[in-house]
Structure 1
Amino acid sequence: MNGFKKFLFQGNLVQLAVAVVIGAVFSELVTAFTTAFVTPLLGIFGRVPKFADLTFTVNNSEFQYGAFIDALISFVLTATILYFLIVLPMTKVMERFARDEEATHRECPSCFSQISRKAIRCAYCTSEIVPEKMGV
């Protein structure tokens, strides 16, 4: 029972649950944005398209391909917004942190763990190390 409790309250599981809820709400937001702004914007080039109403029939079977077009537009918008507002900025921030980390740390020549550039002894394998001069 303790293992199950630990699993439930593990950080990754809670983060995943929050991500799923936020993702669902974000999806609704993008769908509303598509319906309110993008579809009417396409109407500038003619009439306002109502993709959900688009269908074709084969042997009395109705295919509602307009619903697919609406979903496709929502997907493309969601992916675009996520990329430019979340993924791209986070990638830039992570790259900057990595550069800062590289500037203050180096690899221990004995055990290959990351240590401070100022270190004279490795905290992991306790080997003596010649400190690097900063600014070189």
Structure 2
Amino acid sequence: MFKGFKNFILRGNVIELSIAVVIGAAFTALVGAFTQNIVQPLIAAAGGVDAEGFGFRIWAGNPATFVDIGAVLTAAVTFLITAAVVYFVFVLPMNRANAHTKARLSAEEPEEIPVPVDTALLTEMRDLLRQLAQQEGRGQGGRN
């Protein structure tokens, strides 16, 4: 029972997944800090000096009705930065490594090309004719 668990844990996929989760969490914190402390103030500055940020109030005297467009833009920037880093740091290199491995494996072991049906039938007929000719040759060889 423990041997199976040990094999499961030590398998490469589980270790890689664990590393990805830890790196993803750290990267999310980094991108969140960047967008909150750099991008969001830049977007809020577009709202004006006296405004709460880039947005508007539905009811003039009620701060709870403020629609914060800046927060949505910040979330979109966070998503784009995260997606770009995940693609360029993880997905693209992994695709290249997989393509390289696949190319290397295909160069080592050439794929068996299937024989067309007509060629297979002609080969079988040739072999049968050769076999019949050999049998006839044996039968006549003893009569001479």
CA distance in 1, matches of 2:38, 2:85: 15
- Tell me the distance in 1 between the aligned counterparts of 2:34 and 2:40: 9
Greater relative CO (CA pairs within 8 A, separation 6+): 2
Native 8 Å contact 1:7 1:13 kept in 2: no
Letter in 1 for 2:98: M
1:71 is matched with 75
- TM-score using structure 2 length: 0.51
Kindly tell me the number of residue pairs found equivalent between the two proteins: 105
Match of 1:83 among 87, 91, 116: 87
1:48/1:85 Cα in 2 relative to 1: closer, same or farther (>3 Å)? farther
Q: Which moved more, 1:28-37 or 1:85-94?
A: 28-37
The CA deviation at 1:15 is 3.9
> Would the alpha carbon gap of residues 97 and 105 (structure 1) be closer, same or farther in structure 2, given more than 3 Å must change?
same
Aligned to 1:58: 58
Structure with the bigger percentage of strand: 1
Tell me, in whole angstroms, the C-alpha distance in 1 between the residues paired with 2:8 and 2:55: 45
Name the CA shift for 1:85/1:49 in 2 (closer, same or farther; >3 Å). farther
Query: 1:1-136 counterparts in 2 under 5 A?
Result: 9=9, 11=11, 12-35=13-36, 49=46, 53-59=53-59, 60=62, 61-62=64-65, 63-107=67-111
* CA deviation profile, 1:33-61 (whole Å, cap 9, x unmatched): 44566568x78xxx9558x8323222444
**Pair member with larger Rg:** 2
**SS of the residue 1:53 aligns to:** coil
* TM-score between both structures, scaled by the size of structure 1: 0.53
The CA distance in 2 between the partners of 1:55 and 1:10, in whole Å, is 51
1:38-89 Cα distance to aligned partner (Å, 9 max, x none):
568x78xxx9558x83232224442222112111101101111221232112
Distance 2:109 2:7 in 1: 34
